[in-house]
Chains A and B, each alone.
Chain A
Amino acid sequence: MTEGRDRDRDRAPNFESAPDGGSPVVAAADAADTTAKGEPDEKQATLTSDAWRELRHNPLFIVAGLVVALMLVIAAFPQLFAGQQPIMGQCSLSRSLLPPQQGAIFGTDVLGCDVYGAVIWGARPSIIIGLTVTAGVGIIATLVGSLAGFFGGGIDAILSRFTDVMLGFPFLVGAIVILSAFPDRTPLIVAGVLIVFGWAGLTRIMRSSVISAKDMDYVQAARALGATNGRILFRHILPNAITPLLVLVTIGVGGIIGAEAALTFLGVGLQAPTNSWGLSISQSQERFYQHPHILLFPSLFLSMTVLAFIVLGDAVRDAFDPKLR
């Protein structure tokens, strides 16, 4: 206090520690502080409200959130940004491979189509697939995971076997094989296949979440009070078990958009005339050495979108997991 003899710092045997200390003293001080200062309306400090409070002040979250919001708007209303959709095969070949210039700010691609237009219109299928697959996987994982985790026994055995089988496929191999069989691949089909091969991973996590929640004292208490299975599952277990899922899912959207781009790049994803970032990149394969702009702009948009979702997801995860701070 007066003369700080920071002796322990010179030979700190304790390496790095949390800014807010693991010491019970500090924890008690923190707790005392909160209750003493008090939220204005005496609201209970839930994890969600604490997390939201932290997120609001996190610059990364705000920036990433804005980028995601922008992409969503572009996906929803591409006409606002680029006018007519550049349909492949309908662009004028005479204007092929022009560098960025007036009238075509991102230049034109091999087929003479406006790269800017292709990129803007390419947002929609990618993002729709990203969101649809995430929602689909999330719903299935929640359903199957909770049923398996909560009821255990025979139900768990069967559901887990299914899950194991689907987990036996290396990441994209199954999707590649199945998709290659469909001659006509709409975004819906691509999304469907991605859901089929994607639900298992998250399900397993949900299942272990539910299993650990099931053992908690508050579940025993609810049972003792006569709550039915349904009520316990919905009101007590699900809200608690679903947090890790939500966190993974926000990060996951980025991964799915990337996966769709990879599949399309390999030629088994979306097809022309659907504009897609993966398609633009795939078409740039032969020529990008001399004309980097045909690779650059779609890649930039794709990477930025994936990055924004991932940073968003990271921020959400850090906010919900106090241990990591």
Chain B
Amino acid sequence: MMTTTTDRTAREQRADEYAGPLLEVDNLSVEFRLRDRTVNAVNGISYTLAARETLAILGESGSGKSVSAQAIMGILDSPPGFITQGEVRFRGEDLLAMPEDQRRRIRGRRIAMVFQDALSALNPVFTVGDQIGEMFQVHLGMSKKDSRLRAVELMDKVRIPSAKDRVKDYPHQFSGGMRQRVMIAMGISLEPDILIADEPTTALDVTVQAQIMRLLKELQQDMSMGLILITHDLGVVADVADKIKVMYAGRIVEEADVHEIYARPAHPYTEGLLASIPRVDQKGTALATIPGQPPILSQIPAGCTFHPRCSWAQSICTTEEPELLTVAMGRHSRCHFWQDVLDAHQ
């Protein structure tokens, strides 16, 4: 336990030393070069994350939310993916400009990632204890025995019952929720500064979802981490996030504090997302949907990317792509008519 305290103090020291934000993504673009076409997966997104802050990135499949996270972690499949512009600054240092071996040392240790579907994300032939303990063995040079002990501690921390016995079990012997806790244990094992959770609850039951989200929040507060939550599920985000960035077709279309977005959306897409959440008091009425399909990323429409599906669209939307316009302090929307959207939800 001595190591943990010293680590944390050292880290907190470092955190206080560097004045800027923990993570700064600056105008990041990623494209996929395929055989016959190029897909613009991420198109000039920027955001920052402060220590102890929870940022939720919300979007459908194909919005580019996972790809941007992969770019930050440096685990992008390349080829065919290529980062074409931008910087990702961790404590002021651009990760994209770092040599690979330096970057690898940060990966898992300072910035960690948790994936969805723990059954395929965990290696089926090694015990859970081995896989968690591996972090200590590889990054900290610990012995197998010691790392096994730490693994048990971590499994306790993520509240897996009978951790001491279960540490020798294999992933397929756990239930879905327990497996996800194993993934989280692996993620927080070295007390990273940032934890990125990519759809951590998507493969789980609703009740288990709530448990996992609560666990993540507690761990974050306990360990003073920055948390980036990637999801498509608005319901999951409300209790946990501080800020939300809504992504659509590779761009950020709205960013705001969590309460503001739920109360008064300022972008038609966000508005549509909120409206399509089924609510108990709407029983008996038709489910609201956003008409149309997400765009083909190799053929993004001119003007505003959302205009083909937008009920607020007018002729300017087909020709001029809106910038991220300021709605209020710290709040932006990529819509020509954000004011109208906002006013509609007084």
Is B27 part of the binding interface, using a Cβ–Cβ cutoff of 8 Å? no
List CB contacts (< 8 Å) of B293-336 with chain A.
293-298
Q: Which of B80-88, B154-162, B278-286 contacts A (4 or more CB under 8 A)?
A: B80-88
Number of A-B contacts (CB under 8 A): 105
Is B31 part of the binding interface, using a Cβ–Cβ cutoff of 8 Å? yes
Q: Is the CB of B78 within 8 A of A5?
A: no
C-alpha gap A6/B29 in the complex (Å): 12
**A26-B34 contact given A4-B82, A9-B82, CB 8 Å threshold:** yes
Q: Is the CB of B41 within 8 A of A25?
A: yes
Residues 1-31 of chain A, each 1 if its beta carbon lies under 8 Å from chain B, else 0? 1111111111111100101111111101100
Q: Is the CB of A29 within 8 A of B78?
A: no
Residues of A within 8 A of B294 (CB): 28, 32
Q: Is the CB of B40 within 8 A of A1?
A: yes
Q: Is the CB of A7 within 8 A of B96?
A: yes
**A14-B62 contact given A29-B298, A32-B295, CB 8 Å threshold:** no
Is B67 part of the binding interface, using a Cβ–Cβ cutoff of 8 Å? yes
**A32-B296 contact given A8-B83, A26-B34, CB 8 Å threshold:** yes
**A5-B100 contact given A14-B77, A26-B39, A29-B62, CB 8 Å threshold:** no
Is A33 part of the binding interface, using a Cβ–Cβ cutoff of 8 Å? yes
Shortest Cβ distance from residue B184 to the other chain A in the assembled complex, whole angstroms:
21
Q: Which of B41, B97, B104, B296 contacts A23 (CB 8 A)?
A: B41
Shortest Cβ distance from residue B100 to the other chain A in the assembled complex, whole angstroms:
3
Residues of A within 8 A of B297 (CB): 25, 28-29, 32
Q: Is the CB of B100 within 8 A of A22?
A: no
Is A240 part of the binding interface, using a Cβ–Cβ cutoff of 8 Å? no
Chain A residue at minimum C-beta to C-beta distance from B86: A5
Q: Which of A8, A10, A36 contacts B76 (CB 8 A)?
A: A8
**A9-B79 contact given A23-B41, A35-B293, CB 8 Å threshold:** yes
Is B223 part of the binding interface, using a Cβ–Cβ cutoff of 8 Å? no
Is B61 part of the binding interface, using a Cβ–Cβ cutoff of 8 Å? yes
Residues of B within 8 A of A13 (CB): 74-75, 100, 104
C-alpha gap A7/B296 in the complex (Å): 26
C-alpha gap A29/B35 in the complex (Å): 13
Residue picked from A8, A11, A19, most chain B C-beta under 10 Å: A8
List CB contacts (< 8 Å) of B50-79 with chain A.
61-62, 64, 66-67, 70-71, 74-79
List CB contacts (< 8 Å) of A155-199 with chain B.
none
Is B141 part of the binding interface, using a Cβ–Cβ cutoff of 8 Å? no
Q: Is the CB of B296 within 8 A of A29?
A: yes
Is B103 part of the binding interface, using a Cβ–Cβ cutoff of 8 Å? yes
Q: Is the CB of B85 within 8 A of A1?
A: yes
Residues of B within 8 A of A9 (CB): 78-79, 82
C-alpha gap A29/B81 in the complex (Å): 14
Q: Is the CB of B62 within 8 A of A24?
A: yes
**A29-B39 contact given A5-B85, A36-B296, CB 8 Å threshold:** yes
Chain A residue at minimum C-beta to C-beta distance from B250: A25
Chain B residue at minimum C-beta to C-beta distance from A21: B80
Q: Is the CB of A11 within 8 A of B100?
A: yes
Q: Is the CB of A28 within 8 A of B78?
A: no
Is B90 part of the binding interface, using a Cβ–Cβ cutoff of 8 Å? no
Chain A residue at minimum C-beta to C-beta distance from B40: A1
Is B99 part of the binding interface, using a Cβ–Cβ cutoff of 8 Å? yes
Q: Is the CB of B77 within 8 A of A17?
A: yes
Q: Is the CB of A33 within 8 A of B296?
A: yes
Residues of B within 8 A of A20 (CB): 34-35, 80
Is B338 part of the binding interface, using a Cβ–Cβ cutoff of 8 Å? no
**A7-B41 contact given A14-B78, A21-B32, A23-B81, CB 8 Å threshold:** no
Residues of B within 8 A of A22 (CB): 77
C-alpha gap A13/B62 in the complex (Å): 23
C-alpha gap A4/B31 in the complex (Å): 10
Q: Is the CB of B62 within 8 A of A8?
A: no
Chain B residue at minimum C-beta to C-beta distance from A11: B100
Shortest Cβ distance from residue A299 to the other chain B in the assembled complex, whole angstroms:
40
Chain A residue at minimum C-beta to C-beta distance from B293: A32
Chain B residue at minimum C-beta to C-beta distance from A37: B296
Q: Is the CB of B79 within 8 A of A25?
A: no
C-alpha gap A195/B37 in the complex (Å): 49
**A25-B100 contact given A4-B84, A7-B83, CB 8 Å threshold:** no
**A24-B61 contact given A1-B40, A36-B293, A36-B296, CB 8 Å threshold:** yes
Ordered nearest first, which 6 A-B pairs have the shortest CB separation?
Answer: A11-B100, A28-B62, A8-B78, A17-B77, A32-B296, A29-B297
Known: A14-B77, A24-B61, A33-B296. 11 other contacts (CB 8 A): A1-B31, A8-B83, A11-B103, A14-B76, A21-B77, A21-B80, A23-B81, A25-B41, A26-B41, A26-B80, A32-B295
